[in-house]
Amino acid sequence: MNSALRGQYLAALGLESWTLRRSPAAGVSPSAPVADACAPAAAGRVADLGWVELRAAVAACTRCPLSATRTQTVFGVGSLEAKWLIVGEAPGAEEDRQGEPFVGRAGQLLNAMLRAIGLEREQVFIANVLKCRPPHNRDPAPLEAARCLPYLERQIALLQPRIMLAVGRISAQNLLKTDVSLGRLRGQVHHFGASRVPLVVTYHPAYLLRAPAEKRKAWEDLQFAREVCSGVQR
């Protein structure tokens, strides 16, 4: 019996997993390999969930240490029939309190950006790469993003959006698995996942509040995304 199946079997019986009597590597918990082995199975289960079950799974998630510091998870908000999926990086302090992405001044600006291309907030779906707030609004750690990604992937599979708009460098780099700068990622159509959903990159509204001169570039990105969504590309 392989270690992953053995771990699941013991967990189902309510028994603690055991390992061979050997000293673990420095700084590594003896139970860590079992937890890592079970991670793919957990991801597989997420891929079968509907909207209600998925929301419940996110609310109860303990896949990474952020579960210990969050006030609540931030699942996402909007129409379940949306053609547009807006993806940010992670909840901030206000999002953590309210349980909704993009609230406050950044959320107001995002709403205005959407209205500029004829969309209301209620017509799109808005989510983040992470469902929990990193302490002090730090960048998501690679492990956190990896453990949370199956939730976003399932949201995408259920939603089947026509276009994804990645707002901000952190969101774009995590979704596209790259360290290329946001400036170089703008102005072109990328694709996400096995279904190759068209993805366009633009600036985060919070950044635009600090650098209003860049709003013109963001407007160009929105127009480009609208063209991609409608099937008309430059």
| pLDDT of amino acid 232 | 60
pLDDT tens-place string over residues 66-90: 999 999 999 999 999 999 999 999 9
Strand pairing category for 84-88 and 125-128: parallel
Which tens digit of pLDDT belongs to each residue from 93-127? 999 999 999 998 999 999 999 999 999 999 999 99
DSSP lists the bridge partners of residue 77 as: 126
Per CATH, domain 69-229 is 3.40.470.10: yes
User: What average pLDDT score do residues 163-178 get?
Assistant: 97
Instruction: List the domain boundaries for the chain.
Output: 69-229
Under DSSP, the state recorded for 80 is T
| Residues 193, 158 contacting (CB under 8 angstroms) | no
Q: Is residue 169 predicted with pLDDT exceeding 90?
A: yes
| Backbone dihedral region for residue 168 (phi beyond 0: left; psi -120 to 50: alpha; all else: beta) | left
Q: Given this model, what pLDDT does residue 231 score?
A: 86
Whole-prediction pTM value?
0.80
Under the banding of pLDDT at 50, 70 and 90, the label for residue 14 is: very low
Residue 233 has a pLDDT of 56
pLDDT given at position 37: 35
Look at residue 43 in the predicted model and tell me its pLDDT. Answer: 52
Confidence of residue 44 (pLDDT cuts 50, 70, 90): low
As given in the structure block, the two tokens for residue 114 are 């959407």
